[in-house]
Structure 1
Amino acid sequence: MARSQPSNFKQQLILAMKWGLGLAFIGLVGLVIAVAVAMASLPDYQQLSKRSDLGQMVRVRAADGTLLVSLGPSFGRWLSYDEIPPTMRAAMIAVEDRRFRSHFGVDPIGMARSVKVRLESGSWRQGGSTITQQLARNIFLTNSRTFGRKIKEAVLALAIERKFSKDQILELYLNRVYFGGGAYGIDAASRTFFGHGAERLSLGEAAIIAGLVKAPSNYSPTADVEAARGRAGVVLNSLVDNGFLPASQAGAVDPAVIKVQPGPKQNSVRYFTDWALPQLDMLIDETSDPIDVFTTLDPGMQAAANRAVNAHVPAGTQGALVAMDRDGAVRAMIGGRDYVDSIYNRATQAERQPGSAWKIFVYLAALESGMKPSDTVVDEPVTIGGWTPRNSTRTNLGPISLREAFSRSINTISAKIGDALGFGTIADMGRRFGISGKISTYPSMVLGTSEVRLIDMTRAFASIQNRGVSITPYAIRRVVTSNGRLLYQHQPDEQRVLVAPWVAAGMTDMLQSAVLSGTGRAAAIGRPVAGKTGTTSSNKDGWFIGFSSGLTTGVWMGRDDARAVSGLQGGTAPARAFADFMKIAVAKRPVEQFETRAPLPDWQLERDEESWGYALEELPPMVDENGNPVGTGPIGPADPLGPQRDPAPVDQQWLDEVLRRNPENRPPPPAPTQRPPAPGPAQRVPPPRQPSEQPADPLQPRP
């Protein structure tokens, strides 16, 4: 009986060994099958080298091609194994996987050390992953630290080692691994941190890059240069300890003197890119290829805009600026004092009351109704529906010209115009010029009580500069892939005539007067400028919007909480910021004189103007107050009525839009005109108006 116990134990041990060997065999077979399946499912080398699985890289460039910002992963150039500097290859192996050349994809010694630390600490503090395992994780797996993920990682590493050579694995790794700062691969990292390609990496620079893989955010040279240099010292010691580098050569490298390229300044320019990039969804089809987005932004103007706003914005307030060219190209955009502090774009998102800057729509409606800048109006107390507007000076000037009323920003005249023409007419004019928000039709709306965006108001002024033809702001000129394939090219939008040229010319006349002798004098820059100030009640908002030499710029200042700002007026800080910016922005542009006397239609000309050749050039067909075409052409004192001809055809659909006319109410085509006989000697021409005669106020109610 005593001998039976050892015999039973021996039998049980043999049975356990058999089971163990059987399970090991099954596990080995399973591992072989798993590796074989993984090998079969692995992409080929060419597919892995495309790096499209890492996400899309978007490089945003200025109008001159300079890089504004790079978003998403940055890849740089793919370097073959032979193009990678030997010191870079050695540094990565020394610090990340010193037995890389000898193991079969997994490192049993490293894994054992990792398991030991796991049992002692209760967490995975040492990865123990080889370069091959890291490559497998970066391509196919997540960074979760679980036992299941480690098994998958090991299987994939074994498959990768069977499918690719060691040199290919190292090439894939060095071109795909993440180094921080959005840089994937050593070439992108070298360009990001040192400003040159990876083929030119020095030993010290290679040590810094190799040290980033462990913790890219902690050791990033642009975030903490001292930490990056300290980590580089660890890499250099590893090179010596593992026999890759003589101690004398490593000792000759001083990480403290390695120059790191500062990260790109993405402060004010990010307001522009945040506004521009969402437009890509409407411009190009979805693609995962890296793309370059060429924009309209002028780096010099952007820098000048940033300086101008920050130099003049009152303490505790915010400022915004938009500058657009005559074709709508946005050249500069400031959405706030500091993008890092606030990403809210006050140029494109904020809706604020424009104050007197809104009066352009009031006076455009007045000009379109037949008034002229030289017409006399009376500044006097007025009450409309219980509302009594007052001028900022608390005084009334009596009879003044429409031009002076605008340049002095007389509130009573704006109120009288709105009352005479209808406040809905003023609102329609604002919508016609691109104001997208809700517009009030209460009488006080003529003083700018409806909230608007700066970019919309700037667009309206740009359309006035463009002789009354619509302007559409745009930011993206073209989009190309990294291999040069064109995805988008900007084409000019179909332009619409918003007001007749003589209306735009009259408005420009008054806008220029506002800068020469009115509330916008601080915006003068030594060349023709046309613009308008805007100040809201209690000085909550200050605006100045104007144009010169083809560039239109709008400036707004105020508090985000809409509290009063002591001393803030459109003619002070905003106008000064406008002037400082425009002096630089248009310095290299030719001086342009404004067109302020475009020929008027016949129905608006007085007799003396008809007789003495006010309209001296051929124009497109004009219309009378009923929308009927009228003849145009040179006229002069020899023939007061000018050469007569049948009116040229006019686009009736355009007239319907401009006159807000129902197509069913179109007048019948006019009959051919008959040339009247020339005036004989007995006919008398009415004498010209005497200067002493005071014309009637066109805004007074008619008897």
Structure 2
Amino acid sequence: MSREELSRVKRNPSVYRREAGGGGGKGGGGNGGPPKKKKKRLTRKRVLWTLFFATALAVLLAMGGYLFITLSGEKLLNENQDKLTVNPPTKIYDRNANLIAELSLEKIDPVESEKIPDLIKQAFVATEDKRFYEHKGVDLWSIGRAAAKDVVARSMVEGGSTITQQLAKNIFLTRDKTFFRKATEMSIAMALERQKTKDQILTMYLNRINFGGTVYGIKAASERYFGQSDLNQLKLWQIATLAAMPKGPSRYNPLKNPELSKERRGVVLELMYQQGYITEQERDEAKAVNYNYKPPEKKQKYQAFIDFAIDEAEDKFGLTEDDLNIGGYKIYTTMDKDAQQTVEDAFADSDNFEKSVDDKPVQGSMVIINQDNGSIVALLGGRNYEKKGYSRVTGSRRSPGSSIKPLVAYAPALESGKFTMESSVSNEKQCFGDYCPTNLHGYSKSISMSEALTKSENIPAVWLLNEIGVNTGFKFARQLGLTLSDTDNNLSLALGGMEKGTNTLEMAQAYTAFATGGELREAYAIKSIQDSSGSTVYKADTTAKRVMKESTAYQMTEMMQEVVQSGTGRKARIDRPVAGKTGTTQSGYSGVSSNRDVWFVGYTPELTAAVWMGYDDPDRQHLLKNSSPLAAAFWGKVMEKVVQNYPAKSFPKPDNLKLPSPSPTENPNEPVTGLSASYDASTGTVNLAWQPVAAAGAEYRIYRKESSESDFTLLLSTMTPGAGDLSAMAGLTYEYYVTAYYSDTQTESDPSNKVTVLVEGASPSPSASPSASPPPSVPPTDDQSGVVQPGGEQGNPDAGGENGGGENTPPAVSVPPSPSPSPSPSADDPAAAPAAEPATPDSGAKEGQTGPASGRGKGQGNGQGNGNGLGVEDAQPVDGLGG
């Protein structure tokens, strides 16, 4: 190309392109355009190289940031090493934002290294950081393992922290569990290793770590948990107990969770043995010791609720006790100060509890919940509760006895739509496979659902659960918040047969669903938490979920109001409407008629509450003579005062509620006629006979009055027109009358004619009889559980007597005389005989009485019976799985 052409191309390149392409050969088209550029293909090699360089850049940036943080470790250490906290103490408020507590630290002056025994140092090294003397503050092997777990969990779940890093965390101010916080912690740890010896680091660590609650440092912990200020006096098991705590200061607190503490202590001792610090014999001896130290009382008002709220902050928000102690938080709780004080006063009054046989007190637990929003207004987990002590609100799980019947049998049966509260259910003596529960009041062909619950009969509850399907009741109870094991999925669940039991928090929460018309909210103690800057970092979720139909909750409330008005829960009556259910667990020992657990769970239109009473470790010597009326009376005494601060309301009633009407009887008010009586001296029995009424399914109730008494008392009930009074005493004169009770309409007829009998010592001597017709013969039966002696004061429906058996609700069935003794009924039933009367020796196997509180029951079973089944009303299986 000539110089002139080149100059022309530079001035106008498009001319050159047109000219160059105008030839039409291989190089171009007819229009003279330029050749098209070839696109580069996206190959695997290119993708890999791109990813490599992007990753390398990210790594370099991360290393640069990490290097910057690491280099600042010395500065951070120098600035913060004398600071445990710079925030104000965490403050706790009640539901009205009144300050109720501050978390002030319990910290004793540091202990010098030479005054800390080597065994203490070895225990913590073996447990927390076995490579402590090998690394330089950061253990890369532990970090790698932790990182792998974090990747799998997609969050920071594994610390991988050395002792030095734990110390660094205690003097670093930010509590967030993030990568940069972790990196900064590592930078301080490496700076510590450069400035301090290993022994100095370990000594600082032991003097500054948290040992539960507001306790900091090894010496403070020794004094708190063992009353020992001289560390050289600590025994191996005590040292291992303290070394177990850094992993979870609250979880492994020996005062609060002695069993978990002992379990973790065993892990510490095993690690010490494996690393050569102790012998096998020393390990085994230290493992076997039980913790039983009681620290001096340090009274703090509302301590139980405060501790519960702190635990909730840990569980629901992920804060550690250390975070709460030094974080400067504000915790707003749901506690009602007046209600909490009322509960604490009631627990402090020994007259509210049965007197113990020795120095082991009868214990108790109570939870009160505002069902409208799920907030816990008051709670207490034991008498003489200590700070961070053992709380039976959540720590103890016991058989709920008959208080579980509404949750697993009656409510799910109503929910199924196959039953209403007026439906007739079976009350006949029967077995369900190999599971054979029994009634206290005897038996009848049928009984209304409402009356069965009022009397707390056992057969109807099991029959209902069998009708709707065990799994239906099991799932229904789980939906209400009960913690059930898979092994609980059997028929004995209807009577409280559970492998692990439940607690007052779960039971109170479950019953709130009845009080709200079928909606359930998770119970909570914290409304909100603010951090030191005033930002709200946690807020309670009060969302409700519907767990049953309004009609189901309404019918359950109607029936359980009757339990309180005229059934086993009469001691819980107060000046507000109350619905609830009693529960009693029998001893489980053959021939011992005392009880292990007594319950009352109930609700007003404003509040729901659960009460449990019993021994922590029941055995033959430590059982309750009283039954559930004791718990019901305690419930009533507390709630009578608590509800006064809440505006009175009514129980909710569904709109347009339509329930099937029961079939009317032929003559619902037909009285009994033709009553006659005669005394049989050979059997010591007053025999009674009368004409049957025309209506089918009528129940006959026999009333008696001794000549020195002012009122008639219900003696027994039967489904047949004839019965025998075995309890008449020689030399006394008795007067009788009979009524007909119609379960379909829940009405009782007018009294029959009255007859009088003088009981003579030798020969039959009827004193008066309107009819000379002899009494019908009643065939003998092997069941005697219907023969019931009234307990407490005769004729006084509220007299409990020492054994709590004075509420004379009617027994269900009369049986003829028999030479064999009847099994002792549970004191939970108002008509129960005195607790000292022995049960039939083999009643546990034949009648299905409850099993012991631990281990596996002996009961009947192809998987149907849990524990030993049931011997009497409201006497439920405890633990273990039958047959």
Give the TM-score, by structure 1 length: 0.51
Deviations 1:471-496 (Å, cap 9, x if unpaired)?
21111111123443322233423x22
Cα distance 1:59–1:406, how it changes in 2: closer, same or farther (>3 A)? Answer: same
Cα distance 1:50–1:582, how it changes in 2: closer, same or farther (>3 A)? Answer: farther
- Cα deviation for residue 341 of structure 1 reads 8.9
Structure 2 letter corresponding to 1:390:
T
- Cα deviation for residue 183 of structure 1 reads 12
Alignment of 1:410-449 (within 5 A): 410-438=457-485, 440-449=488-497
Matched, 1:290 2:333: no
Distance in 2 (CA, whole Å) between partners of 1:378 and 1:587 is: 41
Deviates more, 1:484-493 or 1:66-75: 66-75
Once the two structures are aligned, what percentage of the paired residues are identical? 27
Distance in 2 (CA, whole Å) between partners of 1:536 and 1:692 is: 31
Distance in 2 (CA, whole Å) between partners of 1:453 and 1:216 is: 33
Distance in 1 (CA, whole Å) between partners of 2:551 and 2:415 is: 9
Q: Which residue is equivalent to 1:281?
A: 317
Q: Which residue is equivalent to 2:624?
A: 566
Structure 2 letter corresponding to 1:430:
A
Structure 2 letter corresponding to 1:423:
V
Determine which of 403, 415, 429 is the counterpart of 2:450.
Answer: 403
Q: Which residue is equivalent to 1:156?
A: none
Alignment of 1:195-594 (within 5 A): 264-265=300-301, 267-282=303-318, 289-311=327-349, 312-314=352-354, 315=356, 316-326=361-371, 327-340=373-386, 343-361=389-407, 362-369=409-416, 370-393=418-441, 395-396=442-443, 399-438=446-485, 440-450=488-498, 451-493=501-543, 495-538=544-587, 539-563=595-619, 565-570=623-628, 572-594=629-651
- Cα deviation for residue 428 of structure 1 reads 1.5
- Cα deviation for residue 397 of structure 1 reads 5.0
Cα distance 1:473–1:299, how it changes in 2: closer, same or farther (>3 A)? Answer: same
Query: Is residue 271–residue 345 contact of structure 1 (8 Å, CA) maintained in 2?
Result: no
- Cα deviation for residue 352 of structure 1 reads 1.0
Distance in 1 (CA, whole Å) between partners of 2:432 and 2:389 is: 42
Cα distance 1:42–1:512, how it changes in 2: closer, same or farther (>3 A)? Answer: closer
Distance in 1 (CA, whole Å) between partners of 2:742 and 2:573 is: 34
Cα distance 1:486–1:385, how it changes in 2: closer, same or farther (>3 A)? Answer: same
- Cα deviation for residue 345 of structure 1 reads 1.7
Deviations 1:498-520 (Å, cap 9, x if unpaired)?
11100110111111111111111
Alignment of 1:57-76 (within 5 A): 57-71=89-103, 73=105
- Cα deviation for residue 72 of structure 1 reads 5.2
SS at match of 2:478: helix
Structure 2 letter corresponding to 1:422:
G
Cα distance 1:283–1:329, how it changes in 2: closer, same or farther (>3 A)? Answer: farther
Deviations 1:566-612 (Å, cap 9, x if unpaired)?
32322x221111111111211022222223566446xx646999xxx
Query: Is residue 528–residue 548 contact of structure 1 (8 Å, CA) maintained in 2?
Result: yes
Deviations 1:610-649 (Å, cap 9, x if unpaired)?
xxxxxxxxxxxxxxxxxxxxxxxxxxxxxxxxxxxxxxxx
Deviations 1:87-126 (Å, cap 9, x if unpaired)?
xxxxxxxxxxxxxxxxxxxxxxxxxxxxxxxxxxxxxxxx
- Cα deviation for residue 289 of structure 1 reads 3.6
- Cα deviation for residue 555 of structure 1 reads 0.6
Deviations 1:520-560 (Å, cap 9, x if unpaired)?
10001111001111101221111111111321101111111
SS at match of 2:369: strand
Deviates more, 1:368-377 or 1:352-361: 368-377
Distance in 1 (CA, whole Å) between partners of 2:362 and 2:377 is: 24
Cα distance 1:271–1:139, how it changes in 2: closer, same or farther (>3 A)? Answer: closer
SS at match of 1:418: helix
Distance in 1 (CA, whole Å) between partners of 2:529 and 2:390 is: 26
Cα distance 1:275–1:555, how it changes in 2: closer, same or farther (>3 A)? Answer: farther
Distance in 2 (CA, whole Å) between partners of 1:433 and 1:43 is: 51
Distance in 2 (CA, whole Å) between partners of 1:443 and 1:139 is: 56
Query: Is residue 549–residue 586 contact of structure 1 (8 Å, CA) maintained in 2?
Result: no
Where in structure 2 are there 5+ consecutive unaligned residues?
A: 1-71, 108-169, 173-187, 190-194, 201-212, 228-297, 588-594, 665-740, 746-883
Query: Is residue 90–residue 102 contact of structure 2 (8 Å, CA) maintained in 1?
Result: yes
- Cα deviation for residue 301 of structure 1 reads 1.0
Query: Is residue 365–residue 393 contact of structure 2 (8 Å, CA) maintained in 1?
Result: yes
Cα distance 1:282–1:464, how it changes in 2: closer, same or farther (>3 A)? Answer: farther
Distance in 2 (CA, whole Å) between partners of 1:409 and 1:498 is: 24
- Cα deviation for residue 358 of structure 1 reads 0.7
- Cα deviation for residue 405 of structure 1 reads 0.8
Cα distance 1:309–1:511, how it changes in 2: closer, same or farther (>3 A)? Answer: farther
Distance in 2 (CA, whole Å) between partners of 1:183 and 1:453 is: 29
Query: Is residue 502–residue 599 contact of structure 1 (8 Å, CA) maintained in 2?
Result: no
Alignment of 1:50-199 (within 5 A): 53=85, 57-71=89-103, 73=105
Q: As a proportion of its length, which structure holds more helix?
A: 1
- Alignment coverage as a number of residue pairs: 413
Cα distance 1:475–1:401, how it changes in 2: closer, same or farther (>3 A)? Answer: same
Query: Is residue 561–residue 579 contact of structure 2 (8 Å, CA) maintained in 1?
Result: yes
Distance in 1 (CA, whole Å) between partners of 2:743 and 2:365 is: 48
Query: Is residue 597–residue 624 contact of structure 2 (8 Å, CA) maintained in 1?
Result: no
SS at match of 1:322: strand
Query: Is residue 321–residue 334 contact of structure 1 (8 Å, CA) maintained in 2?
Result: yes
Alignment of 1:672-687 (within 5 A): none
Structure 2 letter corresponding to 1:512:
Q
Cα distance 1:263–1:443, how it changes in 2: closer, same or farther (>3 A)? Answer: closer
SS at match of 1:544: strand
Distance in 2 (CA, whole Å) between partners of 1:275 and 1:342 is: 10
Distance in 1 (CA, whole Å) between partners of 2:104 and 2:464 is: 54
SS at match of 2:519: coil
Deviates more, 1:56-65 or 1:352-361: 56-65
Distance in 2 (CA, whole Å) between partners of 1:341 and 1:62 is: 18
Query: Is residue 423–residue 443 contact of structure 1 (8 Å, CA) maintained in 2?
Result: yes
SS at match of 2:520: coil
Cα distance 1:469–1:379, how it changes in 2: closer, same or farther (>3 A)? Answer: same
Cα distance 1:534–1:599, how it changes in 2: closer, same or farther (>3 A)? Answer: farther
SS at match of 2:546: coil
SS at match of 1:545: strand
Distance in 2 (CA, whole Å) between partners of 1:425 and 1:405 is: 20
Structure 1 vs Structure 2 CA RMSD: 4.7
Distance in 1 (CA, whole Å) between partners of 2:743 and 2:299 is: 70
- Cα deviation for residue 380 of structure 1 reads 2.4
Structure 2 letter corresponding to 1:69:
A
